[in-house]
Structure 1
Amino acid sequence: MARVPKDIDNIFFENTPKIEELARICEENNAIEKELYTKYEVKRGLRDLNGKGVLAGLTNISDVCATKIVDGKEVPCAGNLYYRGYNIKDLVKGFLEAKHPGFEETAYLLLFGSLPNKQQLDEFQGMIAERRMLPPNFVRDVIMKAPSKDMMNMISRCILNLYTYDEKADDTSIANVLRQSLNLISQFPMLMVYGYHAYNYRRGEDLYIYAPYPELSTAENILMMLREDRKYTELEARILDMALVLHMDHGGGNNSTFTTHVVTSSGTDTYSTIAAAMASLKGPKHGGANVKVTQMFDDMKQRLTDWKDDDQIRQYLTDLLDKKAFDQKGLIYGMGHAIYSVSDPRADIFKNFVKQLATEKGYEEEYALYEKVEHMAPEIISEKRKMYKGVNANVDFYSGLVYSMLDLPPALYTPIFAAARIVGWSAHRLEELKNVDKIIRPAYKPLAPYRDYIKLEDR
């Protein structure tokens, strides 16, 4: 029987030579020839070569439109996003012109299927405000006990801990899940901001935990609780509120929302479902992409001697694709989308505000660099890669710059995405519970040949 090693930390937290050796064996025995995916017509990523997704369900909640029919043929067009049938551009224009926050109004729309009237909106805002509280001592016992440098992991842990405080945690009736969803939507900004402050406190910084104000919107409370002086401008609150609306939902097939459907179909509880969606959103190919965009541009700005030199920019982008720059992954982050091939409507909306904000905040040079990359990247990608669809800037391309100009910490970029998307996850969970009573289980084709068992002494 193996003895417990003396250097236990080395075993747990380092890749020992034995682990590296076993990893090589693992890689060899898990490799599948890429040609087999084509041979067996496997839709990798559940999408075909043209980017069209496998139909896995039906939804009334939102629609992502990137094509139109011309002369009987489906052709790419400027992208549109619809929430319950309303164009996102019209929704944003509506609440911006009316000069009232859009998060609560849009959350009502996604959850209940129609735009609220004045009384309904007031009542819903009141429900959200009164639920902005955590269980007694939760901040001390859960958030402060084990703060994490990764806010997404920390928030997920907090959500799972909230399960233990709920006497009806496993009740999956529509009324109970709605109650749980409203609680989590309301509590999420506090979990996010308090977790961030707790981690900074462990690093030696001052600790300040502010209770949310019931009269403030979700965006205003985030900014107020985040800043030591509790101050924010009207423009900052308006743009953050708009960002929350743009990120609230994006069809049933995006990775974290599909995760919500898959996990919900198993019959599990709301807290486990939302934690699973959080795990999906954390990935750098999904919600973490805006952080990657910001890091990529930081690296680019350090390497370029002249941000206006097109040749230098082109060379850097080429080096990115050749895995010679930044993280050597061969990606230009923020460019391209699984569905949109002409334009991402969320990026279009963001871009208008980026320019205004850049002028006010003195970020004109940064904005000009982003704009150059947006124009040059599709051409360079088409030269280097086989293209099945168009490439355009997605919402993550500009959101990181917006958050930077709002002085939001990078550690909260993805959590802010989640603070919005939790509304969409909740709506899709309720829709799945209402309409489908069948666990999601797609098929995988086995490739390993059958073998006869060999006794240990004969191997």
Structure 2
Amino acid sequence: MNNISMTNEELDQYYERSAQIIGRESYYSPDLYTKYNVKRGLRNEDGTGVVVGLTEIGDVQAYTVEDGKIIPQEGRLIYRGIDVYDLVEACMKEDRLGFEECAYLLLFGELPNQQELDEFKRVLACHRCLPDGFVRDIIMKAPSANIMNKMASTILVAYSYDPNPEDTSVKNLFRQSMEIIARMPLIAAYAYQAKSHYHNGNSLFIHMPDPGLSTAENILRLIRPDCSYTKLEASTLDIALILHAEHGGGNNSTFTSHVVASTGTDIYSCIAAALGSLKGPKHGGANLKVIEMMNEIKREVKNWDNDSEICDYLAKILKKGAYDQSGLIYGIGHAVYTLSDPRCVLLKKKAKELAEATGRVDEYKLYEKVEHLAPIVFNEVKKTNKRMCANVDFYSGFVYDMLNIPTDLFTPIFAVARVVGLCAHIIEERINGGKIIRPAYKYVREMSEYVPLHMRK
């Protein structure tokens, strides 16, 4: 061990050899899942989720059970007993922004009156700032190529700026929640500006938030060089935030927050872990994958009005011959929804409105065609009769693109909204949990004898 240095080529070769060994030794037959009745992905054989907890915060409804059979129904998303359709449609009818009202509902469990809502907004406004030097010392230094990683690390560092970070009383958790919810738009925007400048070579713009503005308005203000935005842009982003704020306790990132919170740790650790989950392309990162996939379809399909040509390319994607060779049509299908995803239905309306306002109706029609044709092609290629619908990610990326929001911010905006639901669930876990979440994994490797080092080949 006198010479411990290795060239980059030697290190890469070592990693390659190691990966082959690990892959070989770690593989086991998928048949074992059936043999041991493993609820893979915490899902039952009929596709329903394994019930592992209770919640009063949010509910995802997509089917009924009659005589032991699952009957699909139009999807519904419920926030504290209130249908999300009612929340969004009230905001549109009354021509007002509603994300803060939605946040109040999820945290408190009931809708606020005007005085309560005004007070809630004032508290958020008080916290819509970062500690002195935080942007310079924490966000601008070591900017990340992926903003979600920077947001997670920044949330962890915020622990060090909290005078009482370990207190998990409801009062302190609520205080921390309000601070995190108020600051998330700033963290996302400044992390984007740092990445855009240091990684992409663009000009650096650091604007101060306006405490009098809503969350949606501040996001648009902070990410644009001239701080400008239209009423339609603000209202559309506000609706997107409402639709992403909560999705029941079983979605991956929220369940992650429950798992981590069940250990009794601090809220910053819980949120950071959930953000790591949300980043994944099978979860919150799917909206970026959708728009990348659709951009490829726009390039490769010559006639957007030709259903047959679109179907051929979708089949090519499913057969791992196009886009990222994953075999996935991103934005189509959902773990729970089958007939419709209410978030997608509502965002689709705004997508059409924006497309008409921005002269992108042809693109919108292509999205509609893919939404309609993808389930048909999937069942033909996979030889199934699975019921599928477009999920929220299918139109959200298109909507953000029409809002001139950089693709780097697609998933971070999801996180800005979802942190409300995460905080509500962390508090709920603190109040009702009590037991550390600890499922079991079945050990399936045979025993082997220990061989002394000098006898190993």
Question: What band does the TM-score fall into relative to the shorter chain?
Answer: over 0.9
Could you report, residue by residue, the CA deviation over 1:283-336 in whole angstroms, capped at 9, with x for unpaired residues?
Answer: 000000000000001111111111222121111100011000000000000000
Secondary structure of the 1:259 match is helix
Q: Given the superposition, is the C-alpha separation of residues 169 and 29 from structure 1 closer, same or farther in structure 2, using an over 3 Å criterion?
A: same
State the AA in 1 paired with 2:113: N
* Separation (CA, whole Å) in 2 of partners of 1:181 and 1:346: 24
Distance (Å, rounded) in 2 between the aligned partners of 1:118 and 1:2 = 73
Identity of aligned residues (%): 51
Q: How does 1:75-90 map to 2 (within 5 A)?
A: 75-90=71-86
Q: What SS does structure 2 have at the residue aligned with 1:16?
A: helix
Aligned match for 1:21, one of 17, 24, 36? 17
Report the CA distance between 1:73 and its aligned residue: 4.6
Change in 2 beyond 3 A, CA 1:177/1:247: same
Within a 5 Å distance, the mapping from 1:128-139 to structure 2 comes to: 128-139=124-135
- Contact 2:63/2:71, CA 8 A, preserved across alignment: yes
Instruction: Select which of 269, 285, 288 maps to 1:272.
Output: 269
Amino acid in structure 2 at the alignment position of 1:339:
V
Q: For 1:238-387, list aligned pairs within 5 A.
A: 238-385=235-382, 387=384
**2:413 aligned to which of 411, 416, 420:** 416
Match of 2:39 in 1: 43
State the distance in 2 between where 1:147 and 1:18 align: 29
Displacement of 1:206 in angstroms is 1.9
User: Residue 427 of structure 1 is aligned with which of 417, 424, 442?
Assistant: 424
Q: Against the structure 1 CA distance between its residues 120 and 2, is the aligned structure 2 distance closer, same or farther, given a 3 Å change threshold?
A: farther
Match of 1:104 in 2: 100
1:172 paired to 2:168 = yes
Query: What is the total number of aligned residue pairs between the two structures?
Result: 455
Alignment of 1:209-248 (within 5 A): 209-248=206-245
Deviation (angstroms), 1:40? 1.0
Gaps of 5+ in 2: none
Give 1:72 deviation, angstroms. 7.6
- Residue type matched to 1:265 in 2? S
CA contact (8 A) 2:156 2:272 kept: yes
**Contact 1:50–1:389, Cα closer than 8 Å, also in 2:** no
Separation in 2, partners of 1:330, 1:112? 42
Normalised to the residue count of structure 1, the TM-score between the two structures is 0.97
**One-letter code of the match for 1:272?**
S
**TM-score of the superposed pair, with normalisation by structure 2:** 0.97
Q: 1:10 to 1:212 in 2, by over 3 A?
A: farther
**Paired residue type of 1:31:** Y
Match of 2:184 among 171, 184, 188: 188
In structure 1, the partner of 2:5 is: 5
Q: Secondary structure at the match of 1:317?
A: helix
CA distance in structure 1 between the partners assigned to 2:418 and 2:405 by the alignment: 18
**2:4, 2:63 → 1: CA distance?**
61
Amino acid of the residue matched to residue 131 of structure 1? H
Partners of 1:10 and 1:452 lie apart in 2 by 35
The alignment yields a C-alpha RMSD, in angstroms, of: 1.4
- CA pair 388-128 structure 1, distance change in 2 beyond 3 A: farther
Work out the CA distance in 2 between the residues paired with 1:48 and 1:342.
20
The aligned amino acid for 1:274 is I
Quote the residue 2:123 is aligned against. 127
Which AA in structure 2 matches 1:145? K
Offset at 1:238?
A: 0.2
Match for 1:423: what amino acid? V
SS at match of 2:317: helix
Query: Which one-letter code corresponds to 1:148 in the other structure?
Result: S
User: Cα distance, 1:42 vs. partner?
Assistant: 0.8
1:403 to 400, 414, 419: 400
In 2, Cα distance between equivalents of 1:320 and 1:199? 31
Work out the CA distance in 1 between the residues paired with 2:277 and 2:118.
33
Amino acid at match of 2:121: Q
